[in-house]
Amino acid sequence: MIKSRFTKIIVSLLLAFGVVAGAAADDIYIPVIAKGFQHQFWQSVKAGSEQAARDYKVRISFEAPETETMIDKQIDILSAALGKKPNAICFAALDSQAALPLLKKAQAARTVVVAFDSGVDSDIPVTTAATDNQAASALAADKMAELIGREGEVAMVAYDQTSRNSIDRRDGFVERIKTKHPKIKIVTIQYGDGDHLKSTEITKSILQAYPRLKGIFGTNEGSAIGVLNGVREMKRQLVVIGYDSGKQLKDAIRAGTIAGAITQNPFGIGYKAVEAAVKTIQGEKLPKTIDTGFYWYDKNNIDDPQISATLYD
């Protein structure tokens, strides 16, 4: 125990003075691979990871496919990053299964793997820095129930069926409705890939099929904006609840056309992922999950300092 503690202290001091395992701190290289650049969420994650790199004096790269549907491209990016023999890698999986062979390769090479935003179905990552998406969507379900009078039909426009966080958001909402709000029926769950236009068309189809619908939950920024646009085009009045942030979403909440949304802490997700990688290199043992937090926000609290600090344009 004393030897282990002494080793941690020595490694920490070496990092502080710019040396880890005989290398300068800025020789530590950590690729950060996100899901896409499609939404402002990822720009905020990027800013957080870059701030952590400055604070800990390590080098990172931030890469992602153009959209969150490009699973094969993300795998190619991961493969190329591992080819550079990084000290650690931070990875937000588009598909919780597809990356496993490469993550096993990273493990064999003793490359630290940190998951962020969305975990993988494996114990390879030393930790996952993410929102508790099931709890967050359960809160969205409670808010939906309150806003529609605790009975009636609702629908969900989610973004995919493969990433861990999308699955958790769907399941968190469904389970809370089932267990706490038995007079509410989820009539359909459809997937729009987080794309505004596709989610708009899906929403219009849902509204045509379910004329008595009282509310729709859009499970990320693109889904929520698509739902809003579909509701506007169909000239329907119903409760729309979103997830994440972005200028359009915030403007709609201020205007009252979206009732409210769940905000994550994207800057914190990026920061905590890189920080976790550095701490693991230092020899620290981390919890299997790092909960980066979430909040409900609407037009009444959107300007509260605690809330506004987690929002982005």
Across the range 40-67, mean pLDDT stands at 95
Give yes or no for residue 18 having a pLDDT over 80. Answer: no
Residues with Cβ within 8 Å of residue 115, at least 6 apart in sequence: 90, 91, 92, 93, 125, 127, 128, 129, 130
Three state DSSP letters for the chain: CHHHHHHHHHHHHHHHCCEECCEEHHHCEEEEECCCCCCHHHHHHHHHHHHHHHHHCCEEEEECCCCCCCHHHHHHHHHHHHHCCCCEEEECCCCCCCCHHHHHHHHHCCCEEEEECCCCCCCCCCEEEECCHHHHHHHHHHHHHHHCCCCEEEEEEECCCCCHHHHHHHHHHHHHHHHHCCCEEEEEEEECCCCHHHHHHHHHHHHHHCCCEEEEEECCHHHHHHHHHHHHHCCCCCEEEEECCCHHHHHHHHHCCCCEEEECCHHHHHHHHHHHHHHHHHCCCCCCEEECCCEEECCCCCCCHHHHCCCCC
How many residues are present in the chain? 313
Give yes or no for residue 295 having a pLDDT over 90. Answer: yes
Q: Which amino acid is at 61?
A: S
Answer yes or no: are the C-beta atoms of 129 and 290 closer than 8 Å.
Answer: yes
Q: Max alpha carbon distance in the chain (Å)?
A: 69
In 3D space, the residue among 242, 221, 251 whose CA is nearest the CA of residue 39 turns out to be 221
Share above pLDDT 90 across residues of the chain, in percent, rounded to a whole number: 85
Answer yes or no: are the C-beta atoms of 144 and 241 closer than 8 Å.
Answer: yes
Band the pLDDT of 26: cuts 50, 70, 90: low
Give yes or no for residue 44 having a pLDDT over 60. Answer: yes
Band the pLDDT of 19: cuts 50, 70, 90: very low
pLDDT at 25: 59
Q: All domains of the chain, ordered by start, with CATH?
A: 2-130+265-293 (3.40.50.2300), 133-263 (3.40.50.2300)
- More confident of the two residues 77 and 7: 77
**Integer Cα distance of 156 and 148 in angstroms:** 15
pLDDT at 144: 98
Band the pLDDT of 15: cuts 50, 70, 90: very low
Across the range 198-207, mean pLDDT stands at 98
Answer yes or no: are the C-beta atoms of 176 and 202 closer than 8 Å.
Answer: no
Give yes or no for residue 17 having a pLDDT over 70. Answer: no
pLDDT at 14: 44
Band the pLDDT of 1: cuts 50, 70, 90: very low
Band the pLDDT of 20: cuts 50, 70, 90: very low
pLDDT at 24: 54
Across the range 291-312, mean pLDDT stands at 94
pLDDT at 27: 86
Across the range 223-243, mean pLDDT stands at 97
pLDDT at 42: 92
**Sheet-wide strand order for 88-91:** 59-63, 29-33, 88-91, 112-116, 127-130, 289-291
pLDDT tens for each residue of 115-166: 999 888 899 999 999 999 999 999 999 999 999 999 999 999 999 998 888 9
pLDDT at 16: 44
User: What rounded mean pLDDT belongs to the chain?
Assistant: 91
